[in-house]
Amino acid sequence: MKAASLIGLAILLSLGTSAALAADEPATHMQETDSHMEHSAEATKTYSGHGRVNSVDVAAGKINISHDPITELKWPRMTMDFQASAPTLKNIKPGTYVVFELQKMEDGYHIVKIAPARPSTE
């Protein structure tokens, strides 16, 4: 009888452990999903800027812009190089004032949209 009780107790304990692990599994999956969603949201978030183009290298996919402050990123007015695709840059010339949208990528912020604009009043 004592052996049967011990076997029964062992079965109950193993069932309880399995149930506890199964109950924890959806929470873990949910945390992974939330983390992925936050990462995806960050990857698609864009930031707007305004500035004057200093140089464009379409072949290298680079543009240098002296831009106004970008408050969402807490960036002061400064001059920076940005990456952008060649089609995005092909009609942009040095000296042009532009509005642009940046997106955070693994290797920094890239311009995903750019268009001519009027000079800033700042």
Question: Cα separation of 65 and 87, whole Å?
Answer: 17
Question: Cα separation of 93 and 50, whole Å?
Answer: 15
Region 97-103: mean pLDDT is 97
pLDDT of 29 over the 50 cut: no
Region 98-109: mean pLDDT is 94
State the sign of the Cα–Cα–Cα–Cα dihedral 42, 43, 45, 51: positive
- Give residue limits of the domains in the chain: 1-44, 46-116
Considering only the top CATH level, what class is 46-116?
Answer: mainly beta
Structure tokens at 28: 């873990």
Question: What residues contact 84, with CB distance under 8 A and at least 6 apart?
Answer: 61, 62, 63, 110, 111, 112, 114
pLDDT digits (tens, 9 = 90+) for 62-76: 999 999 999 999 999
Q: How confident is the model at residue 17 (pLDDT cuts 50, 70, 90)?
A: very low
pLDDT digits (tens, 9 = 90+) for 76-93: 999 999 999 989 898 999
